[in-house]
Amino acid sequence: MGPPELATSDRRHSLSPGFARRYRVALRFPSIALSVVLWLVLALLLIVPILLFLITAISPRLLSQGTQWFTLSNFHTAFTGFFARGLVNSLWLSSVCAVLALAISLGLAWGVQRTNLIGRRAYPVAVWALLLMPSFLVAEGWEYLLQPHGVLNQFGIPTGVADHLFFGPMGVVFVDTMTIVPFAYMAVSVSLANLGSEFEDAARVHGAGRWRTARVVLPILAPAMLSALAIGFAETISDFGVASTLAASSHFPVATYNLFQAVDSNPSNFGVASAISWVLVASAAIPIAIQARALRGRSYAVLSGRTRQPVRRRLGVRGQVLGTAAVCGLFILALGAPITGAVVASLLKGFGTNFSAHAFTLANYRLVFNGTAGLAGPLLYSTRLAVIAASITAVLGLVVARVMTAKGSGALGKLMDLVLIGSVALPGIVLGAGYIFAYNLPLASNLGLAIYGTTPLLAIGYLATSLPGQSRLMVGPVSQLQDSLLDAARVHGARSFSAWRRAALPILSRLLLWAWLLTFAKTLLELPVSQLLFPPGNATAAVAINDFVGTSAHYGEATAMSVVAMAEMFGVILIGLALFRWLAPRGWQRIGGFVDV
């Protein structure tokens, strides 16, 4: 009998080609099956609803929405009259807000990353808080302050000029700019922190002053600055919160609210809504294309083994006073004023009416839970859906990230990544309109997907809005997970799931926690998808607040509901972080793939 390795080789060569092929397929079957399931999920969540909805603009008859196989009449309607005015307003509004947010974020990032500004460690936390604040609550908080018979008027502070300026284009620009500052800040702050001091030192050695030094440094930050502009433009043009509150009450039409009106009309005008969606999706891609064009063929590599850690500039008394005042003023305008407006309004008796009594009361909070409007029901309903969406997103997002970063993912992995990136830039109002259209077709009922107008469809909509972003968030940390960790667990007798639980879960625990918390916070007060998909008789918290703010009968309850919802959103985040610190094993807290604030 020959050596074992020769015997093994003889047996391997004795296998027929067909058996060897079937053996390889059997080994890869679990991964193939998982990829098929994931692509099916992505198709039902994102690809099919959006494609069917967009096709309606050019071929209504294909989906039984008209008599024409091909037409451009829907685009003609979208580019004329009231709808065209909304598109033009959205384009210039998004451009102005993106530029303003970039300028603000550059100053904030420089103060936090490059100086000894007082309170610099607390400012990133405030940025996160502003990121989580729904834009419609920021707009409504300012409305509580400045509207006739509002908070300031109740205390004898005249708001004539501010009222006139705020309830118009300037107010919309202001609120939208405040809400996209966190996105721009996150884009530029990391690049500024990683930029070594040698470039500034070289400029100063050659006699450059403060402004000429800035002209040397800023071009090096071009990728981050262009990214901030692209993100700011896309976030503003897809915003529905400000569009449905401040812009609507100011009679300032924007594209997202026009799209909602086209879908919400009776009968629904899906063709025009689809044409507007084409413009919104294409507009979001414009700054990304400009960014790629501007960076093509240029190198911005500045990190090397010789990169020196930048020395923080020590500000004098005047610099500290001016810098601290500017940053505090920013967060007072972005967070403090709208939150104060909502809290004070919720405590005033008869707020929003001609009755001008300054008596404080908790009656509005009692009405939230016991009033005739029944606002406690929408809050509980949204809480349950937020928990479900956050739990599914955290698990499914991890699976998607693992499949995308696995060895051998190849072209399918890149295609999945492209689908997710495109979905992140997809306006929520377009996604909601696509769900209304696609899942109301007879085809959906014939396939057993008769879920139109139900809670499951709303939950699926929430999952579709949260999964792309969270999956992309997880790709970086998951890609750093070495297969040797799982192999070592299997060597010690652990099965596949047990190996993940013992070897991977401790490393990814903080990442999963943050994915769950961020999804919960975003879903609890999500507005565009909720406004279009909530089942009859089951309004969500955001829809209930938005609807009752416009009615004098339940105005006080709506203001109190805003405060309760914000308190729950931030309270759940704080409780989740505290429980992780108290209950998670020490080893889990020392390692992880996400930075804890």
| Average pLDDT over all residues of the chain | 78
Orientation of helix 505-524 relative to helix 455-479, angle to 10°: 140
Of 21-30, 307-316, 322-331, 464-473, the range with the lowest mean pLDDT is: 21-30
Alpha-carbon span 108 to 103, nearest angstrom: 9
My answer on whether omega of the bond before 158 falls inside 30° of 0, hence cis, is no
Token pair of 580, please? 């992780």
298 torsion bin: left (phi>0), alpha (psi -120 to 50), beta (else)? beta
Opening angle at CA 114, ends 111 and 116, nearest 5: 70
Alpha-carbon span 276 to 259, nearest angstrom: 6
Of 99-113, 221-235, 307-321, the range with the lowest mean pLDDT is: 307-321
Give the residue with greater pLDDT, 371 vs 132.
Answer: 132
pLDDT band at 592 (very low <50, low <70, confident <90, very high): low
pLDDT band at 595 (very low <50, low <70, confident <90, very high): very low
Does 291 score more than 90 pLDDT? no
Instruction: Output the pLDDT for position 228.
Output: 83
Query: 348 φ, ψ to 5°?
Result: -90, 140
Provide the percentage of residues in the chain whose pLDDT is more than 70: 73
Opening angle at CA 449, ends 448 and 455, nearest 5: 135
**Cβ-proximal residues to 243 (8 Å cutoff; 6+ apart), any chain:** 254, 256, 257, 260
Secondary structure class of 324 (helix, strand, coil): helix
Alpha-carbon span 559 to 556, nearest angstrom: 5
Does 400 score more than 70 pLDDT? yes
Q: Measuring CA to CA, which residue among 34, 120, 523 is closest to residue 323? A: 120
CB burial of 76-90 (b: ≥16 within 10 Å; e: otherwise) equals: ebbeeeebbebbebb
pLDDT band at 77 (very low <50, low <70, confident <90, very high): confident
pLDDT tens-digit map of 157-212: 777 777 778 888 999 999 999 999 998 888 788 777 666 555 565 556 555 556 56
- Stated pTM of the model: 0.80
Q: If you average pLDDT over each of 415-424, 440-449, 561-570, which comes out highest?
A: 561-570
When pLDDT is averaged across residues 232-243 and rounded to a whole number, the result is 88
Instruction: Output the pLDDT for position 9.
Output: 47
Opening angle at CA 293, ends 98 and 182, nearest 5: 25
Amino acid letter, residue 371: G
Give the residue with greater pLDDT, 375 vs 521.
Answer: 521
Token pair of 263, please? 């879908």
pLDDT tens-digit map of 526-563: 888 898 888 888 889 888 888 877 665 667 778 888 89
CB 283 within 8 A of CB 430: no
pLDDT band at 384 (very low <50, low <70, confident <90, very high): very high
Instruction: Output the pLDDT for position 41.
Output: 81
When pLDDT is averaged across residues 55-63 and rounded to a whole number, the result is 83
pLDDT tens-digit map of 241-252: 899 888 988 889
Secondary structure class of 27 (helix, strand, coil): helix
In angstroms and rounded to an integer, the radius of gyration of the C-alpha atoms of the chain is: 27
Give the residue with greater pLDDT, 7 vs 533.
Answer: 533
The DSSP secondary-structure symbol of 313 reads: B
Q: Would you list the DSSP string of 172-222?
A: HHHHHHHHHHHHHHHHHHHHHHHS-THHHHHHHHTT--HHHHHHHHHHHTH
Alpha-carbon span 216 to 203, nearest angstrom: 7
Instruction: Output the pLDDT for position 292.
Output: 59
Of 7-11, 21-25, 210-214, 285-289, the range with the lowest mean pLDDT is: 7-11
CB 323 within 8 A of CB 315: yes
Alpha-carbon span 411 to 248, nearest angstrom: 44
Alpha-carbon span 259 to 253, nearest angstrom: 10
Token pair of 246, please? 């401040």
Amino acid letter, residue 136: F
Alpha-carbon span 542 to 560, nearest angstrom: 13
Token pair of 356, please? 């001008």
My answer on whether omega of the bond before 267 falls inside 30° of 0, hence cis, is yes
Secondary structure class of 360 (helix, strand, coil): strand
CB 544 within 8 A of CB 383: no
Distances from the Cα of 148 to the Cα of 157, 169, 189, 454, 585, angstroms:
11, 18, 40, 39, 54
Give the residue with greater pLDDT, 85 vs 473.
Answer: 85
Question: In the chain, what are the domains?
Answer: 72-344 (1.10.3720.10), 371-597 (1.10.3720.10)
Strand partners, 360: 348
Does 300 score more than 60 pLDDT? no
Token pair of 412, please? 């399918």
Give the residue with greater pLDDT, 403 vs 525.
Answer: 525
The DSSP secondary-structure symbol of 336 reads: I
HSE-CB for 361 with a 13 A CA cutoff: 13
Token pair of 211, please? 């402004």
Q: Which residue has the tokens 């703010």?
A: 549
Opening angle at CA 335, ends 332 and 341, nearest 5: 90
Alpha-carbon span 248 to 109, nearest angstrom: 33
**Cβ-proximal residues to 115 (8 Å cutoff; 6+ apart), any chain:** 312, 313, 314, 315, 319, 323
